Structure formats: structure tokens, C-alpha cells
């Protein structure tokens, strides 16, 4: 799946050239069809369409009366944009999504297993350095499944 950190540049039209090592997988798994949406950390999330469709089904099942669930649905579903890779392996990042994530020229593509995060390069390095300097992550919400992971 998707792993690693890839520093990239957006072209003048706001296109991102997918690293060659992911292109064939995206063509095979999703026919080059992808979905972009926003994340609470002010980055973008990039999903292969079949993966997004599973996420979307789960989001739709969330309560529309619970304030946090409703807000999450509004952000993720409301900003979701389907896009495709062109013959050169480029993806156009729509202007409103680039603006949301403060993406200009230099970006970082961060593999997250089933999806990518797309960060402004400096914002990514700032976030990473702040996390490392603090010596811990955000412990405000427990993650019981982390105990089962082997590090």
C-alpha cells in the first residue's frame, strides 16, 4: 500500500505528479480514479476511489444529530472531490482544496497505508518537529487498538 514521505512540487496549474512507484497500483486498483477531501489537520486526504467508497459508506451511517459526527460528515463528504490521474500520472488539486490546506508550490505526500495525506511542505515539517519536541502525541483521546500493534 502507501507508505513513505515524498517531497513534491505542484505545477502552475495546481497538479501533483504521483510518484512512479504508485501509478500502476492506482491504475490497477482504482483505474486512476481518486477522491480528495480535507482533514482536520489542514492537509488533504487522497483515497483510491474504492477505498473512499468504503469510508463514505461508514460516514453516511454516522448520526446526523450528534454534533461531532455531523461536523465530520460536513467536512469530509462536503469537501470530497473525485479526480483522476492523467496519462502523465498527474492529479489536479482543485483550488478550494489547495486553499484549505495552504498548498502552494512545495508539498509532501505522506503514505498512510490505504490513503495519502498531502501537506504543505513547511507545515508538515513544523508539525513533525512539534510532535518530536513534545515527546508525545495528542493523548486527549485513547486509542485502545494501539496496544495490539507491534512497533
In the chain, the domains with their CATH numbers are 5-133 (3.40.1550.20)
Give the global pTM.
0.88
Give residue-wise pLDDT tens across range 118-137: 999 999 999 999 999 987 66
Q: How far apart are CA 42 and CA 83, in angstroms?
A: 19
Is the Cβ–Cβ distance between 124 and 39 less than 8 Å? no
Give residue-wise pLDDT tens across range 12-69: 999 999 999 999 999 999 999 999 999 999 999 999 999 999 999 999 999 999 999 9
Amino acid at each position: 500500500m502507501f507508505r513513505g514521505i515524498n517531497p513534491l512540487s505542484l505545477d502552475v496549474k495546481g497538479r501533483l505528479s504521483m510518484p512512479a512507484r504508485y501509478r500502476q497500483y492506482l491504475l490497477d486498483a482504482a483505474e486512476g480514479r481518486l477522491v480528495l477531501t480535507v482533514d482536520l489537520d489542514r492537509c488533504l486526504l487522497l483515497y483510491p476511489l474504492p477505498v473512499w467508497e468504503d469510508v463514505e459508506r461508514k460516514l453516511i451511517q454516522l448520526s446526523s444529530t450528534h454534533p461531532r459526527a455531523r461536523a465530520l460528515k460536513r467536512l469530509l463528504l462536503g469537501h470530497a472531490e473525485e479526480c483522476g490521474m492523467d496519462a502523465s500520472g498527474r492529479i489536479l488539486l482543485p483550488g478550494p482544496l489547495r486553499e484549505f490546506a495552504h498548498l502552494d508550490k512545495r508539498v509532501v505526500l505522506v503514505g498512510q497505508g490505504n490513503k495519502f495525506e498531502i501537506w504543505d511542505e513547511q507545515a508538515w515539517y513544523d508539525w513533525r518537529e512539534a510532535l518530536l519536541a513534545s515527546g508525545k502525541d495528542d493523548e486527549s483521546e485513547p486509542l485502545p487498538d494501539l496496544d495490539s500493534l507491534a512497533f
